[in-house]
Amino acid sequence: MADNILIVGPAWVGDMVLAQSLFKFLKQRHPRSRLDVLAPAWTLPLLARMPEVDAAIAAPFVHGKFDFSARLRLGRELRARHYDRALVLPNSLKSAIMPFAARIPRRTGFVGELRYVLLNDARKLDKKTLPRTVDRFIALGLDVGEMLPAEIPHPQLRADAAGARATLARLGHERPKAPVLGLCPGAEYGPAKRWPAEYFAEVANARLADGWEVWLFGSDKDAAVTRAVQAGTQDRCLDLAGKTTLTEAIDLLALTTAVVTNDSGLMHIAAALDRRLVAVYGSSDPRHTPPLGARATVLYLDLPCSPCFKRECPLGHLKCLKDLHPAVVLEVLDSTRDEERGTRGE
């Protein structure tokens, strides 16, 4: 294996968390390897919390635009780093331009979007053999024909306790003296991945009645749904949507005792922080992108119409989520009540 590796990382937050399994695997197998990750700027806070990453390189491209000349220019700039190998995790044509322009001797990725010219180690993706995203990432780090390892390392993000205290101080909130339930009611992909806000509110009310704090996590795009949860709890939660950076959200999630979330980037972050996690799946498939954590429980009805992978329910009933009632989530949380009471995020 080459000693100097460039990894072209994914654009989605959740996928970048899963990519840490590949980074950990490569470092375990080749401790002296240098791992640089080329990724969109919004994922760099994640890479900063992954000790396996030696350098994070911002890809200054507008989402959805090809920007061929800019990609070619960046690739030429990367020649000075003298990479021995590139692993291209996204399956797009544009993601393979930079390693090619950088003249990296070995460029590995899956076949897709006519990338044969750009990749000289193109692999055919067998989705049945590699059902999970994390399996596919790991496979690109293996030699051709090599089997997946028996154990795939789980993502493990570092949190900064001092950073969490500073963020709470900025928000005018004291460090919690009671267990904290984190709720992540958003999902950028669309409504078909969002458990109803009133269900989140019911879970919040149950924990508030037990003396817990409840914190609502999300970006500014999730503010409407967190406000709906707040309305259902008489504004008794700490609403963080749009008020924290991704770095701050990582640190604050590390303070939670348990987290209830949709299939989202925050779900993968909570799992990588080893939080007690209940993950609710609707239109997506937990067999494809499950949270990788020993303390994660996935709730999924596996209806005949699931997974549809649609942004909105094509049948108009959203039964995959509406039929997963709050009592089920509370039962999972209650089953580990003793553990939760004895655990405080530090």
Taking only the tens place, the pLDDT of each residue in 279-294 is 999 999 999 999 999 9
In angstroms, rounded to a whole number, what is the distance separating the alpha carbons of residues 17 and 34?
19
Mean pLDDT of 108-135: 92
% of residues, the chain, pLDDT over 70: 96
Tell me what pLDDT residue 115 has: 87
Distance, CA of 317 to CA of 314 (rounded, Å): 8
**Within its chain, how far is the Cα of 239 from the centroid?**
21
pLDDT at 43 over 60: yes
Q: Please give the Cα distance from 276 to 329 (Å, whole number).
A: 12
User: Residue 341's pLDDT is what?
Assistant: 55
pLDDT per residue as tens digits for the range 298-332? 999 999 999 988 888 888 899 999 999 999 999 99
Q: What is the pLDDT of residue 22?
A: 98
The answer to whether the predicted template modeling score (pTM) of the entire model surpasses 0.85 is yes
The percentage of the chain sitting over the pLDDT mark of 90, rounded to a whole number, equals 84
| pLDDT given at position 344 | 45
Instruction: Tell me how far apart the alpha carbons of residues 165 and 140 are, in angstroms, rounded to a whole number.
Output: 39
Taking residues 161-173, what's their average pLDDT? 96
Task: Give pLDDT tens digits for 127-142.
Answer: 999 999 999 999 999 9
What single string gives the DSSP state of each residue in 210-269? TT-EEEE---GGGHHHHHHHHHTTTT-SEE-TTTS-HHHHHHHHTT-SEEEEESSHHHHH
Q: Are strands 258-262 and 238-239 parallel, antiparallel or unpaired?
A: unpaired
Task: Name the band, by pLDDT with cuts 50, 70 and 90, for residue 52.
Answer: very high
